Structure 1
Amino acid sequence: MSDEKILVVDDEKAIRTAIRLAFKKENMTVIEAEDGDEALQILRSEHFHLVILDVMMKRVGGYQVLQTMRGKGDSTPVMMLSGKSDEMDQVLGLGFGADSYLTKPFHNSVLIQTAKALIRRSEIYNRLAPNEIRQGPFSVDTLRMTCLKGGNELALTGRELTLFRFFMEHPGQVFTKEQLYNQVWGDSVVDDNTIIVYVRRIRAKIEDDPKNPQYLKTVRGIGYLFEVPGV
């Protein structure tokens, strides 16, 4: 792996320098931004293989940059950096669409290996046929709007398929009910009961035991996530 370009956003110059030097040894190019506002300006004109965002910055913070990226459909892998080790804070970052969360201080070896894994996963995903999404035993044909589990077609309604497809496109990410309603229903006025009903319906069709879901899980106090066991 070489020639990857990475955007590092942190208001501490020493941290940016340390990260840049670590990636330089891996033949990776690092572009630096000292705050979220500068990062957003750079992202308007340049493409990166990975974006590393500090959570807390004096001006525009990392979460705001992340939400702006995802809101524009930018699926570039994002690694969050934070001095906080609180689990709920990490869940929040992943819920906003981050791919990984690293707590300061960290070892360069962990940073490098995590970055390589994120870039590799993104490259594999991008090589898939644009009209097909695969996760574990599931596959969605986005042209025919059909969903299979183990080769057998699932009887999902249009809205159920749209919601399940969204989960499959973001495996391992936690989404609040507000985020799901905004993404799938296109409305900021959230009907909690609607989300609950649709998640229950989807589980009834994709899970072997809907009362003990393996794939579409509830994250208490936050929302839901889709994951494939063992992946």
Structure 2
Amino acid sequence: MGKLIAVVDDEKKIRDLVKSYLENEGFTVVEAEDGAAAVQLVEKHAVDLILLDVMMPNLNGLQALAKIRLLSEKMPVIMLTAKTEEIDKLLGLEMGADDYITKPFSMRELAARIRTVLRRSTPDEKVEQDEWLRRGEIEINLSTYEAKVNNELLNLTPTEYKILVTLAQKPGRVYSRLQLMNNVMGEAFINYERSIDTHVSNLRKKVEKDPAHPNYIHTVYGIGYRFGDKK
């Protein structure tokens, strides 16, 4: 069986179309028609990724996302939205979504996005077990996709984890938003580089003692970000 994808949308026609395409691509698909049913799916099934529509009855997508994040910080979530306003997209990212895709979308692009997000959430089998990357008070296990600060486990989304690893592996190197987005999410996402700011902001809240005055993840104004641990 392929990775289990939950498709959550109140429009049956969309669910049927997405389900048919993804199954042809080798995925296994379960469906839900509203936010409440989406939360139940996550509780009952070992879902690998959830496609979550924003505009739905009985818990909209953002409300459902909030509940899902209480159940699992690490589950990959892609928001489906017909809205074009940037604020709606950023709100989903701030609440812990890994990506968003705006309707109407191509099935090929959707499948590519799913595979990219799944890769970010799957440990690299080539990495030696218990290989740790240590930067100041931060410890990152590259084989289990876990990160700790002062020995306390961080609840990072797959995107947040990948950003942290990318920056921490090369302290002092300045990454532009475009470079960071490309390294973390791939070339298909290069038109979405401003959304990296939201992911970095979320990451700082979990990593830094004082996110407004970070010790590790620094903004290089007009360019992007760099990692600089203070020992």
Is residue 100 of structure 2 the alignment partner of residue 108 of structure 1? Answer: no
User: Which residue does 2:198 correspond to in 1?
Assistant: 174
- How far does the alpha carbon of each residue in 1:11-67 deviate from its partner, in whole angstroms, 9 at most, with x for none? 111111111111121121110101111111121121112100001111111112222
TM-score w.r.t. the length of structure 1 is 0.64
Q: Amino acid of the residue matched to residue 4 of structure 2? A: K
1:133-212 alignment, distance < 5 Å: 139-140=133-134, 145-146=137-138, 158=150, 169=161, 171=163, 172=196, 174=198, 194-197=210-213, 199=214, 201-203=215-217
TM-score w.r.t. the length of structure 2 is 0.64
Structure 2 CA distance for aligned equivalents of residues 84 and 112 of structure 1: 20
Q: Cα gap change, 1:107/1:63 in structure 2, threshold over 3 Å: closer, same or farther?
A: same
Aligned length: 185
- How far does the alpha carbon of each residue in 1:122-151 deviate from its partner, in whole angstroms, 9 at most, with x for none? 223688678667xxxxx347xx94569xxx
User: Which of these two proteins has the greater Rg computed from alpha carbons?
Assistant: 1
Q: Cα gap change, 1:177/1:146 in structure 2, threshold over 3 Å: closer, same or farther?
A: closer
Structure 1 CA distance for aligned equivalents of residues 2 and 40 of structure 2: 22
Alpha-carbon offset, residue 75 of structure 1: 1.1
Unaligned runs of 5+ in 2: 141-148, 164-195
- How far does the alpha carbon of each residue in 1:154-188 deviate from its partner, in whole angstroms, 9 at most, with x for none? xxx959x989x89952634726979966x5799xx
Equivalent residue of 1:195, what SS? coil
Q: Amino acid of the residue matched to residue 30 of structure 1? A: V
State the superposition RMSD in angstroms: 3.9
Unaligned runs of 5+ in 1: 134-138, 149-156, 187-193, 217-225, 227-231
Structure 1 CA distance for aligned equivalents of residues 2 and 198 of structure 2: 31
CA contact 1:9–1:36 (8 Å) conserved in 2: yes
